[in-house]
Every structure is written in C-alpha cells, then in structure tokens.
C-alpha cells in the first residue's frame, strides 16, 4: 500500500501520480486534500507519516510546492525517513542507501514526466543494508529528559 498526500499546490500532480500508479496495479490510498483550496501542509504530512509508522502504508509520497515543508514535517516522526528527491538518482539513493520510506516532491519544481520517473525509481528500489544499515540506525536519536 502506498499512501499519498499533498497540500493545495500538489493536488494536480498527486492526481496524476495516483492515476499512473493505479494503472501499474499498485494500491494507493489518497489522504487528501481533494481540492486546490488552501490547506496547511503539516496536517497532511503528519497524517501520512502516521500511516507509515503504523505500517498501514509501506511507503508514502508527499507533495507540496517545493517538497521542503512536507519533508521537514514528516521527518519529525520517529521511524519516518522522508527524502526530498529531484531526480531519478536521488530517488534511487534515498531508497538504496538511506532506506527512505517517504518520498517528497515539489510540484512547482518538477515537471510531471520527471515526477513520474522519480516515483517509479523510488518504488522500484529497495534498501541495500550492509554498510548502510549502521548509518541508517544512527538517524534516530534518543533524547534525555531535562
């Protein structure tokens, strides 16, 4: 299951990506919004991150104008490794080396064709483990109570 969400700037790209993903037989859950009416991107990033952390979605895709805000909000959740990707190479490395489980895209940064390619590459690759396992394990930090 792939969870997908956006803010108002990403609604059009989100709709296109859902269409493409469903045509390839992938299960997609649209977490909103349904229109281009202004919304607050953190609300949708948190909703999607919760789905990934709970395991109801294997991976997530978040879209806003630049992808920056979505990635910042999603990465506040322990267990989420959200990667802002601008091309096929960064999408591949995010999965293979960083074990990213959320892909963030900028609707105002990427053309539709590039976005489709980035999503496909992200979904087609898996974490390599090995030397990367230790590094990924160091991403989460434990805080001492003050």
- What residues act catalytically? 64, 97
Alpha-carbon distance of 48 to 144, in angstroms, equals 27
Alpha-carbon distance of 134 to 32, in angstroms, equals 35
120: burial class by Cβ within 10 Å (0-12, 13-18, 19+)? middle
Confirm if 4 and 60 have CB atoms less than 8 A apart: yes
Sign of CA dihedral 91, 61, 106, 24: positive
Confirm if 68 and 106 have CB atoms less than 8 A apart: yes
């Amino acid at each position: 299951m792939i969870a997908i969400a956006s803010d108002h700037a990403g609604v059009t790209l989100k709709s296109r990506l859902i269409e493409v993903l469903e045509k390839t037989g992938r299960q997609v859950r649209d977490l909103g919004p349904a229109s281009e009416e202004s919304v607050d991107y953190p609300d949708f990033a948190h909703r999607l991150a919760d789905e990934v952390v709970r395991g109801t979605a294997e991976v997530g895709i978040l879209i806003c104008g630049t992808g920056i805000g979505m990635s910042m909000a999603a990465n506040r959740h322990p267990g989420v490794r959200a990667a802002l990707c601008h091309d096929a190479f960064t999408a591949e490395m995010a999965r293979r080396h960083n074990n990213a489980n959320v892909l963030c895209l900028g609707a105002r940064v990427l053309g539709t064709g590039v976005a489709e390619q980035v999503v496909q590459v992200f979904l087609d690759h898996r974490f390599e483990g090995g030397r990367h396992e230790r590094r990924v394990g160091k991403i989460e930090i434990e805080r001492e109570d003050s």
